[in-house]
Amino acid sequence: RAAEWQLDQPAWSGRLRITARGKTAFIKLEDKTSGELFAQAPVEQFPGIAVESVTDSSRYFVIRVEDGNGRRAFIGVGFVDRGDAFDFNVALQDHFKWVRQQSELAKQAENPEQAPKLDLGFKEGQTIKLNIANMKKKEGAAGSARPRPAGPGGLSLLPPPPGGKSSLSAPVWLPGTPITDSLLAWPQPAAAPPAPDVWGDFTKASG
């Protein structure tokens, strides 16, 4: 509990830095002016025994410092600003998240066959629907071409050849149609007789 510490008279004050070497993170307590190392705590797992939160505050922690000769000690550290305590937690979490990702990638590289494979096959009973250019074909007419519109008299007319102009070297004769000067002249229907006058002499009646 941080309430049991002498918070108004800390034994030491300075700056805290987190560095990493390989998979191990290091909490370094340094002099805020000269940068001289006061103590450091190697962290190989988080959460773990190397860093623990107190039960009555989110700004205070217990860390296990080592001197490099096998001697260890547990000391309490705290932050004046709550945002700094939050950043402290996040920095440790990010480092060990990266460690886990690297470990998983290494395992997949050693055993590529055990990596999860993407299954693109159809499940039993699964169907798909394809809509290709909104084209619909009648039953029994698959592969048949669309009929061309017929011209007068049931004659199918073909489009002109590429180039926009057609040249006829000889008159073209079509059965049942007269031809003049190489131009097709279709017979015109005879003029209908005028309709009889329905009103008769009523137009001349007086009154």
**Tens of each residue's pLDDT in the chain, 207 residues:** 888 888 888 889 999 999 999 899 999 999 988 989 999 999 998 888 899 999 898 899 999 999 888 899 999 999 988 999 999 999 999 999 999 998 888 888 877 666 566 677 777 778 888 778 766 555 555 555 565 555 555 555 566 666 655 555 555 555 555 555 445 545 556 666 666 666 665 555 555
- Identify the pLDDT of residue 165: 54
Note whether residue 130 is domain-resident. no
Residue 123 resides in a domain: no
Give the three-state DSSP class for 72. strand
**Residue 202: what pLDDT?**
56
The radius of gyration of the chain from alpha carbons, rounded to an integer in Å, stands at 49
| 25 touches 46 (CB < 8 A) | yes
Please name every residue paired with 37 in a beta bridge, in sequence order, or none if there are none. 30
Number of domains in the chain: 1
Supply the pLDDT for residue 104: 87
- Residues contacting 106, CB < 8 A, separation 6+: none
Question: If residue 174 lies in a helix (H) or strand (E), which one and from where to where?
Answer: none
| Residue 160 falls inside a structural domain | no
Are the beta carbons of 5 and 11 closer than 8 angstroms?
no
Range of the domain at 11: 2-105
What's the pLDDT at 128?
A: 80
The answer as to whether 199 is a domain residue is: no
Q: Identify whether 79 is part of a domain.
A: yes
Q: How far is CA 153 from the centre of its chain?
A: 58
CB 185 within 8 A of CB 179: yes
The pLDDT value given to residue 103: 86
Peptide bond into 47 cis (omega under 30): yes
What is the reported pLDDT for 45? Answer: 87
Query: What's the start-to-end Cα distance of the chain, in Å?
Result: 126
In a domain, 30, yes or no: yes
For 188-207, give one letter per residue: b (16+ CB within 10 A) or e. eeeeeeeeeeeeeeeeeeee
CATH at residue 84: 2.30.29.30
Task: Report if residue 172 sits inside a domain.
Answer: no
170 within some domain: no
